[in-house]
Every structure is written in C-alpha cells, then in structure tokens.
Amino acid sequence: MANNSYDSNAIEVLSGLDPVKKRPGMYTDTSNPNHLIQEVLDNSVDEALSGHCTNIKISLLRDGFIQVSDDGRGMPVDEHPEHKVSGVELILCKLHAGAKFSGDDYSFSGGLHGVGVSVVNALSDELEVRVKRDSKEHLITFNNGDKASELAEVGEVGLRNSGTTIKFKPNPKYFETNEVQVKQLKHLLKAKAVLCPGLTIDFHDEKKSEKVKWFFEDGLKSYLEESADGVELVLADSIVCSKKADIQELEFVINWSLRLPKDKLNETYVNLIPTLQGGSHLNGFKSGLLDALKEFCEYRNLLPKGLKINAEDVLSNAIFIVSSKLQNPQFAGQTKERLDSKDHMSFVSNSTKDILSIWLNTHTEEGERIAELAIMSAQTRAKVSNIVERKKSFRGPALPGKLSDCNSQDLNETELFLVEGDSAGGSAKQARERSFQAIMPLRGKILNTWDLESAEIIKSQEIKNLSTAIGVLPGNNDLSSLRYGKICILADADSDGLHIATLLCALFLRHYRSLVQEGRIYISMPPLYRIDCGKDVLYALDNTQRDQIVEEFKNKKGKPKINIQRFKGLGEMNPPQLRETVMDPDTRQLVQLSISPTDNANSMMDLLLSKKNAPARKEWLERKGALAKI
C-alpha cells in the first residue's frame, strides 16, 4: 500500500538509461534476447534500405556474446554540436537519439524512436562498438550501459572499408532465459533477406558450428513458394504486386490452397520490421482484396442470392506476405508489432484493388476458383451463424450452461471470464462489473483437444456450451458473430489451475486460432499469497514475489508483524479480493495469448499434449522435471 505522505521528496526523475533498467518490459521483449538482436539488426537493415549496405553478419559466439556487423556508412564518430559527445556515444547512451526522425538521412527505416540500440546497451553486461569510417577504425566500450572506455582510434582501414560492428552480452537478470531462440532468429534473418533483394545476410552459430547465408534476387515470390512446399496451390503463378509512390511503397504476394497447413503463411512487415499484430497495412490489404473480388463476383453473377462475402472469406484459404515501406510510420508501441499509420491504409487498399482487379479480369478461370473458395467460406459462416442464433433463442437470456451474461454488446469493452469451478464462479459473479463482464464456470479440466478435429470436439458438452457462449464454433475463422471482445482464462494459481489453463490455451490455439491472432485471448494472473503488515496489504503471484514483499516489510521500522495467507484456490477469495486482483481493469494482471510465425508454440503443445508424443514427453520430463519449483 502506498505511503500516505506525498511531497516533492517523493518525486523521482529517471535519467540516462535508468528508465530501461527499471522497466525493461516497456522497451523490449524480456522472455529472451532475440528482440535485442532485432534492434541492432534493424539499424543495419535501415542502412541497406538506404542503399549503403549490402552485407550483414550475425554471430552467436561461444562465450555468450552476440555480434552484428554491417558494411554501411558506420555510426558517426564526430562530436555532436549540442551534446559535446561523439555521435556513437550519444546513440548508445541517450534515449530518443537518432537520425531517423526527420527522414532526411533515411527514406524508409525501422528504427524510429531512437531507443533501439540504447536499450541493447542498457540491458547488456558488456557492449563494444567498432566503427570503420573515413579510413579509420574506432572503438568504444560499455559496461551495464555505462561508458567503460572513451571512443578512440584503434587502426586504419581502406578508404572504401566502412561499417559498424556491435558486440554485446545480454544481462541475464533482465530476461527469463538468456538463450537465443535460434529457430525464430533464423526465420527473421531469412525474411529480412527476402524483403531486401540484393542484401546478403550471413549467420554463424559457434556453439553448433552452423553457418547459413541468405540472398534472394526473386524476393517475396520465391519465399512464398518455398514456405508452401508440399502444399498444392490454386494458382500456378502467385499474384505479385510492387507499387511505389513518393513516400510509400507496397509489395505483396498471395496464393490460395484447398488444404492449408496448421501454420499457414500470413506475414506482414513495415520497413522490414515484422508486424505480428498487423495494423493499417493489413487492413488496407484485406479491404482491397474484398473490393476487387466482390466487384468480380457481381459482374459475373457468381454470388448466390442473399449471400455476402467478407475479407475473412477471401483470406480463409490464402497464404500471403505483405511488405510496406513508408516514411515516419506510426507504430502502436516500441516493439512495433502493429502499424497505426491511417493514411497508409488507403494507399494499400487502392493499390491492392487495382492490381487484383486487373489480374482477375485477365485470369477469369482462376479468378472464379478463388471466388468459389470465398463463397464456400461465406456459406459455412452463414450456417454457423444460424446455429448460434437458434441456440441463443432456445436458451433465452441465460444462454448455455451456467453463463452469467453482461449487458453490453460492444466488443471494445465486453469480457468473458472462463472460471475454474462453481465456487470461484460464484465469487466472480459477485465481483464482476455486470455491465461488461460475463462469467462462465467450468467443470474442472476440459477435454484435451490438441489432437482432435473441430467436428469431434463439439460433441463435448462443455466445449459446446463454451462455443455457443462466445458465438463462434471451433475451426471457424469468421468472427463476425463473436459476442465478447476479450476472453479471459481464470484458473487457480496452483498446478491444477495451470493444467486447466494449458488445456484451454490448446483449445484456442488449435481450434480458435483467429481469436488468438486478433489478440482476444488472455490468461488472468491470480495471486497465490496475501501478505499483511499493519494496514498494508499486498498480493504475490509466486514464492519469489512473496519473499521480496516480506523482505521489504521487514525493513520497516518497529519490526512489524507480518501475516502470510496462501490461497488454496480462487474460491477462498472473497468478492472484493477477487475484484481487486483479477477483475478490476485498473489493478488486475492479464497476459495476452499470442503467436507469431517465428515461435515454436505448436511444437511445444505437441510435446505437452499430443498422445503421439508420449515417449518424447517422458524423456523431456525426466530431463527437465528437476527444474520445477514446488
């Protein structure tokens, strides 16, 4: 609980790189160091986009260091006129310092906020920068974000030999694991090479003695066809677009298939930065596709009477890559996972429609096959919608099972909590905000759906009730009938609760992937402990947090009495406690369930839940079981 005393002495000003060290999760992904590598890599790629770099090398060294080198112009080494330090020191030590704000030095760039490499410096044990520029080689070093040695000339190089090499060792205290996720990194490096034709990217993993080189002349088309290897595509030649304007560009490639793999290719990029949550360029792409196909269908009378297709119908069987380039893109946050540049949407939409309209009218037979796939998707969606509506009218206001519905129908605010057990469900009903929060108690562990088809799992009454409540049937990508904007898994903080949460995550990943991709699935983080010290009350998610809180309380004057309560389950919490810790948007903690083309979610779920992987699971448990903390 906060101190009642509040005056000027309580105001703290963070300077230099302290904000990053204090709250690293606001600046980077703290699950592993991959995002640090991406921040350094993006600066090198920006040099390539501007025509000053043709080679980038990434090395994972045996001693835990990571090295990224390029043959660009090299960071500035002259003194900044205002700050009186070298350009390279300013870039590494000061937040929001960079050459990409005005657009004068870089037409298109990914590093926009000027915090990328300074974040890398702040979160690294050691970091050194070597700059080759103007026939000289310069070196500067840092420890924990602080300058360890001044910038100095350390040698001479050829006049045409220029570039920057950054070598750093991530500080393990800021990351859940200090191991680089190599598979995801290689996927990113390959994508960068695809999206920047003429750029050679070399990767070297010293620990595994692995070397890979990527260089693509054909760009997106070859990338799509390589990714779709083994999948029968509808079009013999994928549709390719390349449209340039004064301050923005669009490239995309798209094809369709009758049978798509679990991990179908649907990637979007802005200035070569992967935008995992899409944004305005993806929305413009969808809008242009839909407008072109609707126009084609209406002109040729292909649509059945009364049937309307939407963008998800057009993309339900599609694989595609969209790459946008624009000056001063507006991202939703520092990790740049979603583009918010509204003006770019109309450019992408109009360009996509023009390209696809011309293509459809010159490839009418193949166009009709694409239209047929969209029509089939729309018809399936219409049938699902009718099923859900009939269930709604049959069930009445109460809907299925023990669902306690909310009053609002606005997806921007409605929330459904899937609560473990009737006891916790009763408390949650009292704790909720009835206007926008709905509660649905679950009967313990649901069916393991990971190896099952969507048509089979609907036979389970629990899953049938759940699907009717959210308004979407398993396996359906159309979310037009979705009843809640957020679906929150609320289970106990013990091992059984984690098991239930894992089974629900598997259900959504396998059978409701569109909900996950739209960022609508969340996992609530209920506390395991309540710690009382006088009038102060704090909650802890786990033993580590409990010990930290107890230690802070012990440091108080007067040796106060500390009481620790361990919750055996959510049912032990009274409604006010439940409201404060897991339901109030101002005080709760939610973790968003998300996936990306580069993660290993499917392989991990296969290992954990697939019946076919029992031997591998046993071996994994024997090897990793001792790491579990009881």
Q: What is the pLDDT of residues 172-181, one digit of tens each?
A: 988 888 899 9
Burial (0-12, 13-18, 19+ Cβ within 10 Å), 23: exposed
Report angle CA 486, 504, 406 to the nearest 5 degrees.
Answer: 35
Angle between helices 280-299 and 342-362 (to 10 degrees): 30
- Phi, psi angles (nearest 5°) of residue 253: -140, 140
108 pLDDT band (50/70/90 cuts)?
very low
User: What is 168-198 written as a DSSP string?
Assistant: EEE-GGGSS--S--HHHHHHHHHHHHHHSTT
pLDDT of residue 429: 85
Three-class secondary structure of residue 305 per DSSP: coil
- Phi, psi angles (nearest 5°) of residue 498: -65, -35
Report the half-sphere exposure of 576 (CA within 13 A, side-chain side): 0
Average confidence (pLDDT) over 230-248: 87
- For residue 196, pLDDT over 80 is answered with yes
List residues with catalytic annotation. 420, 492, 494, 496
468 pLDDT band (50/70/90 cuts)?
confident
CB atoms within 10 A of CB 237: 11
pTM value is 0.52
CB atoms within 10 A of CB 301: 7
Cα end-to-end span (Å), the chain: 28
- For residue 441, pLDDT over 60 is answered with yes
Separation of alpha carbons 333 and 323, rounded Å? 19
Q: What percent of the chain has pLDDT over 90?
A: 26
- Phi, psi angles (nearest 5°) of residue 230: 90, -5
Residue-wise pLDDT tens digits, 315-368: 988 999 999 988 878 877 656 778 888 888 999 999 999 999 999 999 999 999
Closest CA to 513 of 484, 478, 489: 478
**C-alpha distances in angstroms, 351 versus 172, 243, 272, 324, 338?**
46, 7, 19, 12, 20
Separation of alpha carbons 325 and 342, rounded Å? 14
Which range, 239-253, 321-335, 388-402, is most confident?
A: 239-253
- Does residue 516 contact residue 605 with C-beta atoms inside 8 Å? no
- Does residue 49 contact residue 106 with C-beta atoms inside 8 Å? yes
Q: Which of 120-124, 126-130, 162-166, 609-613 has the lowest mean pLDDT?
A: 609-613
pLDDT of residue 378: 85
Name beta bridge partners: 273.
270
User: What is 88-111 written as a DSSP string?
Assistant: HHHHHHSTT--S-SSSSS-SS-S-
**Residue 231 Rama label (left phi>0; alpha psi -120 to 50; beta):** beta
- For residue 413, pLDDT over 80 is answered with yes
Q: What percent of the chain has pLDDT over 70?
A: 88
400 pLDDT band (50/70/90 cuts)?
low
- Does residue 400 contact residue 416 with C-beta atoms inside 8 Å? no
pLDDT of residue 97: 53
Positive or negative torsion for Cα 406, 408, 411, 412 = negative
Which range, 15-19, 237-241, 397-401, 625-629, is most confident?
A: 237-241
- For residue 79, pLDDT over 60 is answered with yes
pLDDT of residue 625: 67
Burial (0-12, 13-18, 19+ Cβ within 10 Å), 155: exposed
Separation of alpha carbons 365 and 111, rounded Å? 44
Residue-wise pLDDT tens digits, 3-13: 555 444 543 44
pLDDT of residue 109: 43
Separation of alpha carbons 289 and 312, rounded Å? 10
pLDDT of residue 362: 93
